[in-house]
Structure 1
Amino acid sequence: MILYPAIDLKDGACVRLYKGEMDQATVFNDNPAAQAKAFEDAGCEWLHLVDLNGAFAGAPVNGSAVEAILAAISVPAQLGGGIRDIATIETWLAKGLARVILGTIAVRDPELVKQAARAFPGKIAVGIDARDGMVAVEGWAETTDIAALDLARKFEDAGVAAIIYTDIDRDGAMQGPNVTATADLANAVSIPVIASGGVSSLDDLRALKNSGAALDGAISGRALYDGRISVAEAVSLLKA
Structure 2
Amino acid sequence: MALTLYPAIDLKGGQVVRLKRGDMSKATVYSSEPGAQARRFAALGFRWIHVVDLDGAFAGRPANAAAVETILAAVPGVPVQLGGGIRTMGTVEAWLDRGVKRVILGSAAVKDPDFALAACRAYPGRVAVGIDARGGFVATEGWAEVSAVQAADLAKRFEDAGAAAIIYTDIDRDGMLGGVNLEATLALARAVRLPVIASGGVASLNDLAALSGVTSEGIEGVIIGRALYDGRVDPAAALALVKR
- Given the two structures, how large is their TM-score scaled by the length of structure 1? 0.98
For residues 7-22 of structure 1, what are the structure 2 equivalents within 5 Å?
7-22=9-24
Does structure 1 conserve the Cα–Cα contact (< 8 Å) formed by 2:194 and 2:218? no
Output the CA distance in 1 between the equivalents of 2:203 and 2:217.
Answer: 20
Which amino acid is the alignment partner of residue 11 of structure 2? L
Residue 177 of structure 1 is matched in structure 2 by 180
Alignment of 1:1-240 (within 5 A): 1-73=3-75, 74-211=77-214, 213-240=217-244
Query: What is the rounded CA distance, in whole Å, between the counterparts of 2:191 and 2:239 in structure 1?
Result: 26
Structure 2 unaligned spans of 5+: none
State the one-letter code of the partner of 2:136: G
Question: Within 2, Cα distance between the matches of 1:159 and 1:82?
Answer: 21
Q: Shift of the alpha carbon at 1:119?
A: 1.2
Segment of structure 1 superposing worse, 34-43 or 207-216: 207-216
Shift of 1:207: 1.3
Helix, strand or coil at the partner of 2:159? coil
Runs of 5+ unmatched residues, structure 1: none
Give 4+ residue runs of structure 1 displaced > 4 Å after superposition: none
Aligned residues: 240
Partners of 2:133 and 2:65 in 1: how far apart? 26
Give the Cα separation in 2 of the matches to 1:75 and 1:219.
16
Residues 134-166 of structure 1: CA deviation (Å, up to 9, x unaligned): 000000000011110110011111110011000
SS at the partner of 1:227? coil
Distance in 2 between residues matched to 1:186 and 1:157, nearest whole Å: 15
Identity of aligned residues (%): 59
Q: Judge conservation of contact 1:172–1:197 (CA < 8 Å) in 2.
A: yes
SS of alignment partner, residue 170 of structure 1: coil
AA matched with 1:116: A
In 2, the alpha carbon distance for the partners of 1:67 and 1:220 equals: 21
Q: How far 1:111 sits from its partner (Å)?
A: 1.7
Q: CA RMSD in A?
A: 0.9
Deviations 1:181-210 (A, max 9, x none): 001101110111000000111001111222
